[in-house]
Amino acid sequence: MLAAENVSKVVSMLRDELRVLGAITARGLALYTVGGKQIYSDLDPSVEERLKVFVSSFPGLSIGSHITVTIGERTLIIMRLSERSVLAVFTHQRVGIVLVKMSALIKSYGTTLDKLLEGVEEEQVPSIQLPEVSEVKTEEVPVEEQPSELVEAPVEEKAEVEEAKAEEVEAERRTRIVTVQVPVIMDESILKKCSDRERKILEMCDGERSIDEIAKETGIPFFEILQLCTKYSAKKKIKIIDRPRIITE
């Protein structure tokens, strides 16, 4: 089951990333599962219809591969970002520039999208087959007593289904998306001019680990790392980026 709040957060972050290069403005984004289920879309109906023509091709796309469709003066770019997700962008920007940005999203958001879309396809509840009533009377199981047993069986099955649904809802409540600060070095020359302690921190500023994760791996206090990153960020040597993380409590 998907939480609308989690979807909204991830879509908002994807949109912000694409807006940096002017790839999209207020609208022009759609998120699908590889199986073709629409998770989000703000595309115009006419563009959406063109996109749906290619839904059957989604499973054949490898991660990073794409489809481009020219519609008027704009281009619809469809790219597989992860094992479970396909992102579509309707843009007026140069295709090459947008493809570079979309490709960068694979590393930044691929894992998050897969976790978000995990189990998105609702499982069908198996139909309950009522046992056939035997016409042969036996001493152990009289025919007259069978109807009450037949009524109870579906009730038990229904209770199991309801319990499973309740567990899914509870699991969803325990899962949330948070935004973390991820530092990435923009100028590696700072590694030659810093102390060994600072170098230990800076070498882990790879654009993947958050400040909190660096603190846990190095054993250095969080605020010391934050202060160092902030110092170099002011000098344009480090860039601190907001990244989504799925937290299971």
Helix axes 95-117, 4-19, angle to 10 degrees: 160
**Three-class SS of residue 9?**
helix
Quick one: tokens of 150? 């037949």
pLDDT exceeds cutoff 50 at 68: yes
CATH of 4-117 among 3.30.450.190, 3.40.630.10, 3.40.50.880, 3.40.50.300: 3.30.450.190
Which tens digit of pLDDT belongs to each residue from 142-159?
545 444 444 444 555 666
Classified by CATH at the fold level, domain 175-248 comes out as: Arc Repressor Mutant, subunit A (1.10.10)
pLDDT exceeds cutoff 70 at 78: yes
pLDDT of residue 117: 85
Q: Work out whether strand 74-80 and strand 85-91 pair parallel, antiparallel, or are unpaired.
A: antiparallel
Helices (H), 118-190: 146-174
Better-predicted residue by pLDDT, 108 or 246: 108
pLDDT of residue 149: 47
Q: Are 66 and 99 contacting, i.e. CB atoms less than 8 angstroms apart?
A: yes
pLDDT of residue 133: 40
Q: Are 76 and 44 contacting, i.e. CB atoms less than 8 angstroms apart?
A: no
Residue carrying structure tokens 């035997």: 134
Domain ranges of the chain: 4-117, 175-248
